[in-house]
Structure 1
């Protein structure tokens, strides 16, 4: 039986409780202008920062959000919604305003990555799609930036993203990894779509295809002007001698160059030292040693601190899944972003601060701005009507107004990557490290603290 691939229905890219909430809002006539903040309470992977990504996907989702007749029939089958409510959904388009941190920005916990203001029903229906778009890309971009940082221990080393076969969203992973500093992707579809450099080596299966490792190496060397050989199919230390013999012979007869050798298993420290020694003895000093095999930022740093002779890394599973580390007690796999109501203007024009009162999960009410000290000494979160601190940089930028995209809101990927790398270079070293002793200082203005006290009193009266 032929099974067609699932199609994407933007209006159904919600959790069940979103249209249910919209229905209650519709029945009670409560659809005032509402502001939501999208942010995280903690930085991922035990670090201090987040590298923001995913805005392009988020805005594409907002622009495409609508309900087709087929989708409305589906909703009517699974829930007994009033027909007039479904009629409203049929006409619904986003009409509000969105401010966001540009992709490539550095954010810290509790800072709004995105601020959405729209009629309640529009804003609530966008929640899950926005969280998914921003959350996954930011998680992967941050992970990539940490891996690249670890790889540059002592000298500049390239990191290639090899995550396609293990990534839940491979195109998103390739794009976000590039923003985070990866030099290339193995996924040709991503290279084509995003104009990324594509790189790859050879699989063990190709080596095993031939009667001997030497014949396999010969075949690869003869096929390409510049080539990489995989050393660990049988025995790494024997393989490097075979590789050197083939490389010298092929260079003499065809002019083809051995560019790199790859180690994918074994004792990477000892084996890389041995391989480097043999290559240098053969006057193949320009041949790079590439390492792969379930590596992450912590393992890379351990290898390099132990003296591993590795020039570049190919990272797949741990990057593509945004994994944490069992050994270091670090959670991963999700960013944990939230989308919380912070302000409401009812139909009469009365304004209300909104907050969740739940201990450490309590939220901060009000329409906010973020300002950063020019030398990264602190960030200040304050109410939008409060005066900007002198010489501080405003971080949130308007990207949609009256439901329309603001021109220039989505720069090319190359510019996003450049901004990301500039920000990472400016980020003080103590906050760039894999683990941090003190979080980056994020302060809440007096006006915001006063509003929160007011909101707590309002919440207390409503209980």
Structure 2
């Protein structure tokens, strides 16, 4: 969500059925304290984990949520709501509590990334905005972490985010990619807003504008103290010799340095090997080779296994929308986050576990906590009142209380990135692999399993 756009209306950042549900709640008087879990059933891209991101955007949405007079007029035009219900919406603000995994945390399927407790109408009206904020950012951060992991095989290789022109939400993508480990962004607006390093090369159009490739290279070399040349406009192997000639001459006459060359098409593995050989023969050992062109974690891994001498990667399209892999039958483009009711307290104070029974889409009732073994041997999902497992780390953190963001809940982006990289480094390699052999063990406590059976019996279903 572009929260600074003039057409951003927080109260309308919902699906139609959310105010419709709130209206039924209002008419029937059911508005007890309700707890919802936000989570995903599977990890994206065939992996085991999610790198959590998007909490800052989610909480900004929560704080901004309200209906203006014009928005209420709009709702009255499209639905025959009672005027008293619209009066209530005019006063609606979030008054509940939210617990969440901090941005930069590692999460696994079925673990609540966020736990929301509030009067039913408040909680249901926030559903879509929270799902969108957390889902997209977590998807992109996870994708970026996988790409960086593939690129760093054997040694450190920088990954630059080049996704602006094809990204679903460019600012969100730039921020989440940085959390996931990307070193820079090509989007100047994101660099300005988030204080990120900005990087870029040159387009083919600039090379083509000149009568010859040599003239374009000289023009670029003369314009900048440190510069990058794009080699694949016509013939990359022929271009490297022209680039070397330009580099040596401008280094001698102007002191300008060829920092890198970029390949965007062709046989990246064999061309990079040839180009590295020519650069080294010319004594240009410090010149880096940058590769781009619809790359992802799997293609990067294949390139490096083939011996490609690539020093850094620019990733655009596949990062911009969290792409999967058609060739490998791996879905992408969406995290598939869900927001499910798990606990309800009616106006008399009576508590009810809530669950959905639908095969693989069945839910787990109860207000939950997540605890992690210090050596990443397992995570335990349990009821909030169950004893803290000795030595385990509690993962959910209070971030909103009585409708207000708790101070310290939104650290600077630099700290979020640092936490993310620490967690990714600590995650055992077998669970960070692009194609893991086994999922990370997540255990449901005995108390939670017992409550699930109890909740099922309340709705006439026997799970035994």
Q: Give the structure-2-normalised TM-score.
A: 0.98
Q: For structure 2, which runs of at least 5 residues remain unmatched after alignment?
A: none
Q: Does 1:211 align with 2:216?
A: no
- Which residue is 2:69 aligned to? 69
Deviation at 1:461, TM superposition (A): 6.9
CA–CA separation in structure 2 for the residues paired with 1:186 and 1:359:
44
- Which residue is 1:288 aligned to? 288
- Which residue is 2:99 aligned to? 99
Deviation at 1:446, TM superposition (A): 0.4
CA–CA separation in structure 1 for the residues paired with 2:62 and 2:121:
13
CA–CA separation in structure 1 for the residues paired with 2:408 and 2:144:
26
CA deviation map 1:417-448 (0-9, x unaligned) = 00000000000000000011110000000000
- SS of the residue 2:460 aligns to: helix
CA–CA separation in structure 2 for the residues paired with 1:68 and 1:267:
56
- Which residue is 1:183 aligned to? 183
CA–CA separation in structure 2 for the residues paired with 1:289 and 1:459:
62
CA–CA separation in structure 2 for the residues paired with 1:26 and 1:260:
63
Q: How does 1:12-91 map to 2 (within 5 A)?
A: 12-91=12-91
Deviation at 1:166, TM superposition (A): 0.3
Deviation at 1:214, TM superposition (A): 0.5
- Which residue is 1:356 aligned to? 356
CA deviation map 1:63-122 (0-9, x unaligned) = 000000000000000000000000000000000000000000000000000000000000
CA–CA separation in structure 2 for the residues paired with 1:381 and 1:270:
49
Runs of 4+ residues deviating >3 angstroms: none
- SS of the residue 1:111 aligns to: coil
CA–CA separation in structure 2 for the residues paired with 1:373 and 1:143:
25
- Which residue is 2:320 aligned to? 320
- Which residue is 2:340 aligned to? 340
- SS of the residue 2:104 aligns to: coil
Deviation at 1:154, TM superposition (A): 1.1
Q: Does 1:445 align with 2:445?
A: yes
CA–CA separation in structure 2 for the residues paired with 1:52 and 1:339:
16
- Which residue is 1:372 aligned to? 372
CA deviation map 1:48-69 (0-9, x unaligned) = 0000000000000000000000
- Which residue is 1:163 aligned to? 163
- Which residue is 1:9 aligned to? 9
- Which residue is 1:151 aligned to? 151
- Which residue is 2:201 aligned to? 201
Q: Does 1:454 align with 2:454?
A: yes
Alignment: residue pair count: 458
CA–CA separation in structure 2 for the residues paired with 1:71 and 1:330:
40
Deviation at 1:460, TM superposition (A): 1.3
Q: What's the C-alpha RMSD, in Å, of the aligned pairs?
A: 0.9
CA–CA separation in structure 1 for the residues paired with 2:405 and 2:172:
22
Deviation at 1:169, TM superposition (A): 0.1
- Which residue is 2:277 aligned to? 277
CA–CA separation in structure 1 for the residues paired with 2:266 and 2:6:
41
